[in-house]
Structure 1
Amino acid sequence: MANTNINEISKSLETLYLDGKFDKAVDLLLESKNQLSAVDFHYNLGAVYTKMGDLGPGRYHFELAMKKGYIGSDLLNNLAVIKSKLQGVDLSLSRDIGDQLVNFLSMVPASYSICITLVLLITSLLVFKFKYIKSKIVLVSLLLLSFFPIALQQGVLYGKTFAVNLKDMKIYEGPSSVYDVRATLPGGSKFVLGKTDGEWFYIDHPIELAGWVKKEDIGIL
């Protein structure tokens, strides 16, 4: 029965999408959230919002689908299309090497890093078992190196909170609208949040966006 419902939802969603009834497609997805997997829900919602021209919500839901473990060519292509349309500064477009590393690692699901680490661990043990290497010191070194992928990701991303602005957003010099506006950012940019002050968040990276933004304007990943 569950599969039947999902198939019906998929067919209805496809029909609405092809007919250009995007608002109704959004409503259907929101109503069906509990019946869909997290990946299907966020990916399809991202696709519909992007088709509507709402780059902020589109980017936000694509990023959430990726965070849930999906990295497909269709998702990456959609993200590339959104990034090509961005008129502001974005973490993924930063020339800073540190920003590029943070952005890359944020796109890799933790489950991938864990799988890579496990494969490296098993490979190291098999190599030692079949005596391709005989030194226990070398084995220990390989085992330690096997933890590098997960250690790198966790180390670089530790304490970092990512977000996407859902709509055109003003960046203020301080945590209040009484402060001067530093810049106005079109919806769809990704950045790293830092300290908070009530309903206000400070953007840490990219440095070009440093300033305070309202919580209501962003989607936290």
Structure 2
Amino acid sequence: MQNNNTTDLLKSLEELYLAKDYGAARKELLESRELFSPGIFHYNLGTIDAKKGNFAAGRFHLEKALKGDFHDVRVVNNLEQVKEKLHLQGLSQSTNYYDQILDQATSWNSLLPYSATLLLLIILLLLIRKKVIQHIAVILILGLVAVTPVMLEKYLVERVTSAIVLQPAPRYEGPSAIFDKLSTISVGSKIIIREHDEKWVLVLAPQSLVGWVKREKLGTY
């Protein structure tokens, strides 16, 4: 029965989408959220928001879909189109090495680092078993390389949070508006933050935007 409901809903959403009735499509999608996996829900919501011209919200939901359980070329394509519409210099374009590492690492699905490490360790064990690699030093170095994805996940990614700026976000020198205002972060920007309290977060990347912003301005994922 649920499969039939989902099929009917998808058909209805498609008809509304093709008719460019994005408001009705969004409302129907939100009312039927429980019928979809989180990834597919956020993909559809992000696509609709982008069509409505809300590119910041569109990016937020598409990024959330990509990091969740929906890995599809359509998500990537729609996300790239939204980024082009926003005309922002993102983390991926930063020349700062730390920014680039954080951008890539926080875009992964949380299971990917473990899968990558497992695959690399299996390959390493096969090479050792076939005596392709025999030197202990080389084995140790390759072993460290193999566990790098998990180490990066545990000691870096799990300590930070990705966010999309949904409203213009004034950036301050400290966690209060009494501190000097440094700049305003543009809507649609992707930033990497560290949790501080219920009201304030610390921006860690891009390096050019390090400072404090109000949590209410952001969509985190």
TM-score exceeds 0.5: yes
- After TM superposition, give the deviation of residue 46 of structure 1 in Å: 0.8
SS at match of 1:70: coil
**Equivalent residue, structure 2, for 1:200:** 200
Paired residue secondary structure (1:212): strand
Q: Which amino acid in the other structure matches residue 76 of structure 1?
A: V
SS of the aligned residue for 1:202 comes to strand
- Structure 1 residues 123, 180: CA separation in 2 closer, same or farther (over 3 Å shift)? closer
Q: Tell me the TM-score normalized by structure 2.
A: 0.86
Q: CA deviation at 1:157?
A: 2.0
Cα contact 1:110–1:150 (8 A) shared by 2: no
Deviations 1:34-54 (A, max 9, x none): 110111001111111111111
CA distance in 2, matches of 1:85, 1:214: 25
Stretches of 4+ moved more than 6 A in 1? none
SS, match of residue 212 in structure 2 = strand
Aligned to 1:13: 13
The AA in structure 2 aligned to 1:45 is L
CA distance in 1, matches of 2:68, 2:106: 12
2:53 aligned residue: 53
Higher relative contact order (CA 8 A, sep 6+): 1
Stretch of structure 1 that moved more, 39-48 or 90-99: 90-99
When residues 182 and 33 of structure 1 are mapped into structure 2, their CA distance, relative to the original with a 3 A threshold, is same
In the aligned structure 2, how far is the partner of 1:195 from the partner of 1:34?
Answer: 29
Structure 1 position 147, deviation (Å): 1.8
Equivalent residue, structure 2, for 1:92? 92
Structure 2, unmatched stretches of 5+, are none
Q: Which region of structure 1 is more displaced relative to structure 2, 54-63 or 64-73?
A: 64-73
Determine the structure 2 residue equivalent to 1:36: 36
Partner SS for 2:159? coil
Please, what is the CA RMSD of the aligned residues?
A: 2.5
CA distance in 2, matches of 1:178, 1:128: 60
**3-state SS, counterpart of residue 111 of structure 2:** helix
How has the CA–CA distance of structure 1 residues 147 and 183 changed in structure 2, closer, same or farther, with 3 Å as cutoff? same
The 8 Å contact of residues 99 and 207 in structure 2, kept in 1 or not, is answered as no
TM-score by length of structure 1 reads: 0.86
Aligned length: 220
Distance across 1 between alignment mates of 2:113 and 2:197:
33
Q: Secondary structure at the match of 1:163?
A: strand
**Structure 1 residues 151 and 179: CA distance shift in structure 2, 3 A:** closer
Contact 1:57–1:188, Cα closer than 8 Å, also in 2: yes
Q: Is the 8 A contact 1:22 1:52 kept in 2?
A: yes
Return the alpha-carbon distance in structure 1 between the equivalents of residues 151 and 53 of structure 2.
Answer: 38
For 1:122 and 1:168, the matched residues in 2 are separated by: 47
Q: Identity over the aligned pairs, expressed in percent?
A: 35
Partner SS for 2:45 = helix
| Aligned position for 2:101 | 101
Q: Show CA shifts across 1:66-109 (max 9, x none).
A: 12143332222222222223345532332211101110111121
- How far apart are 1:211 and its partner, in Å? 2.8
1:169 shift after superposition: 2.8
